């Protein structure tokens, strides 16, 4: 089920009404049924795959806690759980990629083999795999009690607002809330609907309208002028941001309606002054997951520079692999890792100048923000491209096509949507839309809501773009 579908418009009020009319002891069961329904709306049979990982990690958590005094057995149980859970992800997401590369290698060597594997990736598998792993790891570390109620643990993994594209929740946040009795609160209802409206606006009005032009550029870059290619790359930066940020905001709002607080996944990432800061503000739940479960166990920053650089590369390459089973994602992660290391190296050897006066600081900060945005935009081309041939065509056309007459014919309204989004994003620096609205009197707040709703109804793209992160 899609957040921007008629089905969800019907589904969400039903869940909301049932949640607040049922007694507390029955609410988790209703939410579990609702979450199963939500997930099965895509491909029903794939809920069985999700069930496998749920059973594995549910039992692992109980056994790890039971044998907490037996360190060797506890560690063996953790490793078994991690391997088993990751194996499911490996089979459906990476086995096809490996088989394709083996076939290509064998063909190059003159060996004819048929190892083709064609499996459909279950929606959100990477997200709920990491959510399950965080539970087992936290139980192993002693930070989380093993959940005995199988239904509630299943709901922790399957909670419908963040089931298919995150945010990746930790048990200390979500599992705790599943046991709490939630009271009807008008403030939660108000904030929830604000977030949903804003999320739908940035997805359907901004991201989807930009997506039409992005697809044109990436389908055949050779047709377009170099300036249009640059514009298409910038449009993609805002398309993927609006698409994922929009989904995450709708997820926040949907959870807020029933009194749940889930993780903010974005914090104005395009106002970052460095690649390191960008990853503190972009897909926060994934960044912190890799920080806590990969980067810190590897030694973090408490090691010499060479080892730290190695740790960073491992984290970013894994992040690239997590995003997709293709070489372009691996190189995208590698590029971010190398730039992160370079920034750190420069900072270590070139002390930052102390700026005199506010104007000078603003100019310097603006330069840093622009530099970071340009680099991130260039790297997004690796993320968006369908193949290395597509990447090559894109950059070849970027360099050589200044004399090409073909232009993108961009409607004026697109600039209005994008400009409005950028202005709102700047105004939301280090805050959230629902909290930002609280600063205004009721008349202004309601005016903002009506404008956004009007634009969603009248200005949404005619093209139905799926959420980009569904593929992960």
Q: Tens digit of pLDDT for each residue in 135-158?
A: 999 999 999 999 999 999 999 999
Closest CA to 241 of 467, 433, 8: 467
23: exposed, middle or buried (C-beta count within 10 Å: 0-12, 13-18, 19+)? exposed
Asked whether residue 352 carries a pLDDT value surpassing 70, the answer given is no
DSSP alpha helix (H) spans, 163-300: 174-179, 186-200, 208-219, 226-257, 275-281, 284-290
Q: Tens digit of pLDDT for each residue in 170-216?
A: 999 999 999 999 999 999 999 999 999 999 999 999 999 999 999 99
Token pair of 222 as six digits: 């050779």
Which residue of the set 128, 323, 336, 340 is catalytic?
323
The H or E element that residue 359 is part of is helix 358-384
In the predicted model, what is the mean pLDDT of residues 219-245? 92
Q: Which residue has the tokens 């309601």?
A: 446
Asked whether residue 428 carries a pLDDT value surpassing 70, the answer given is yes
95-to-86, 88, 105, 115, 383 alpha-carbon distances in Å: 12, 10, 15, 10, 20
In the predicted model, what is the mean pLDDT of residues 296-318? 92
Q: Which residue has the tokens 């060597």?
A: 109
The pLDDT value given to residue 356: 64
Q: Which residue has the tokens 């056309």?
A: 397
Query: How much is the mean pLDDT over the chain?
Result: 90
Closest CA to 246 of 71, 11, 106, 424: 424
Q: Is 323 a catalytic residue?
A: yes
Closest CA to 196 of 169, 161, 155: 161
Q: Tens digit of pLDDT for each residue in 58-117?
A: 999 999 999 988 989 999 999 999 999 999 999 888 888 888 888 888 888 888 877 777
DSSP alpha helix (H) spans, 113-225: 125-141, 150-158, 174-179, 186-200, 208-219
Say what percent of the chain tops pLDDT 70.
97
Annotate 401-421 with b (16+ C-beta within 10 A) or e (fewer): beebeeebebeeebeebbebb
């Amino acid at each position: 089920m899609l957040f921007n579908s008629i089905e969800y418009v019907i589904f969400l009020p039903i869940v909301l009404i049932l949640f607040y009319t049922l007694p507390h002891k029955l609410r988790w069961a209703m939410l579990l049924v609702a979450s199963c329904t939500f997930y099965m709306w895509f491909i029903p049979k794939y809920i069985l795959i999700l069930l496998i990982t749920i059973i594995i990690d549910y039992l692992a958590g109980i056994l790890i806690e039971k044998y907490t005094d037996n360190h060797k057995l506890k560690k063996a149980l953790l490793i078994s759980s991690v391997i088993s859970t990751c194996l499911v992800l490996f089979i459906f997401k990476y086995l096809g990629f490996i088989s394709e590369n083996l076939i290509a290698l064998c063909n190059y060597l003159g060996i004819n083999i048929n190892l083709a594997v064609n499996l459909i990736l279950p929606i959100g598998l990477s997200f709920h795999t990491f959510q399950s792993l965080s539970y087992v790891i936290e139980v192993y570390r002693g930070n989380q009690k093993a959940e005995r109620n199988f239904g509630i643990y299943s709901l922790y993994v399957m909670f419908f607002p963040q089931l298919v594209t995150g945010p990746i929740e930790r048990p200390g946040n979500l599992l705790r809330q599943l046991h709490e009795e939630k009271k009807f609160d008008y403030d939660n209802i108000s904030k929830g609907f604000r977030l949903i409206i804003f999320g739908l606006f940035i997805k359907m009005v901004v991201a989807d309208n930009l997506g039409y032009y992005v697809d044109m550029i990436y389908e055949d870059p050779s047709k377009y002028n170099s300036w249009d290619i640059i514009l298409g790359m910038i449009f993609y930066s805002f398309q993927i941001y609006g698409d994922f940020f929009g989904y995450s905001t709708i997820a926040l709002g949907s959870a807020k309606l029933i009194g749940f607080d889930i993780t903010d996944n974005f914090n104005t990432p395009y106002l970052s002054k460095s690649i390191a800061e960008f990853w503190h503000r972009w897909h926060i739940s994934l960044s912190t997951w890799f920080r806590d479960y990969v980067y810190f166990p590897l030694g973090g920053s408490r090691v010499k520079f060479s080892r730290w650089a190695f740790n960073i590369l491992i984290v970013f390459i894994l992040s690239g692999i997590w995003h997709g089973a293709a070489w372009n994602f691996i190189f995208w992660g590698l590029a971010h890792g190398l730039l992160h290391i370079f920034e750190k190296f420069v900072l270590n050897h070139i002390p930052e100048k102390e700026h005199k006066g506010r104007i000078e600081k603003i100019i310097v900060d603006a330069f840093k923000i622009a530099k970071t945005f340009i680099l991130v935009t260039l790297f997004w081309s690796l993320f968006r491209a369908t193949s290395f041939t597509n990447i090559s065509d894109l950059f070849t056309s970027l360099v050589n096509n200044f004399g090409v007459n073909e232009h993108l014919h961009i409607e004026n309204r697109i600039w209005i949507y994008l400009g409005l989004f950028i202005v709102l994003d700047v105004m939301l620096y280090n805050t959230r839309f629902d909290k930002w609205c609280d600063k205004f009197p009721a008349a202004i707040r309601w005016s903002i809501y009506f404008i956004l709703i009007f634009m969603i109804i009248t200005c949404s793209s005619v093209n139905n773009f799926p959420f980009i992160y569904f593929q992960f």
